[in-house]
Structure 1
Amino acid sequence: MSSYSVLLVEDSEFMIEHVSQALEGKHGFEVEAVATADEARAVFDTSTFDCVISSYELLNESGIHLAASLEEAVDGASVPFILFTGNPLEPLVEEALEAGVSAFVSKSNHATGEMNVFANRIRLAIEAAE
Structure 2
Amino acid sequence: MSHQPTVLIVEDEASQREILAYNLEAGGFTVAQAASGDEAMTVFDEAQPDLVVLDWMLPGISGIEICRQLKRRGDTRSVPVIMLSARSEETDRVRGLETGADDYVSKPYSVAELVARVRAMLRRTRPAAVGQALSFEDITLDPETYRVTRGGKPVKLGPTEFRLLSTLIEKPGRVWSREHLLDRVWGREIYVDSRTVDVHVGRLRKSLGIHGDADLIRTVRGTGYALG
Q: Which residue of 2 aligns with 1:12?
A: 13
Give the number of the structure whose alpha-carbon radius of gyration is greater: 2
Aligned amino acid, residue 101 of structure 2: V
Q: Which residue of 2 aligns with 1:120?
A: 116
Aligned-partner Cα distance in 2 for 1:50–1:84 = 17
Identity of aligned residues (%): 31
CA shift, 1:98, in A, is 2.1
CA shift, 1:88, in A, is 1.1
Q: Which residue of 2 aligns with 1:92?
A: 92
Aligned amino acid, residue 44 of structure 1: F
Q: TM-score, normalised by structure 2?
A: 0.50
Unaligned runs of 5+ in 1: none
Count of residues paired in the alignment = 124
Aligned-partner Cα distance in 1 for 2:32–2:82 = 15
- 1:1-130 to structure 2, matched below 5 A, reads 3-25=4-26, 27-75=27-75, 77-110=77-110, 115-130=111-126
CA shift, 1:73, in A, is 2.4
1:81-116 CA distances to partner (integer Å, 9 max, x unpaired)?
Answer: 000122214121222222110001222132xxxx22
What is the RMSD of the two structures over their aligned residues, measured on CA atoms? 1.9
Q: TM-score, normalised by structure 1?
A: 0.84
Unaligned runs of 5+ in 2: 127-228
CA shift, 1:38, in A, is 1.3
Aligned amino acid, residue 56 of structure 1: W
Aligned-partner Cα distance in 1 for 2:61–2:89 = 17
Aligned-partner Cα distance in 1 for 2:89–2:82 = 12
Aligned amino acid, residue 93 of structure 2: V
User: SS of 1:84's equivalent?
Assistant: strand
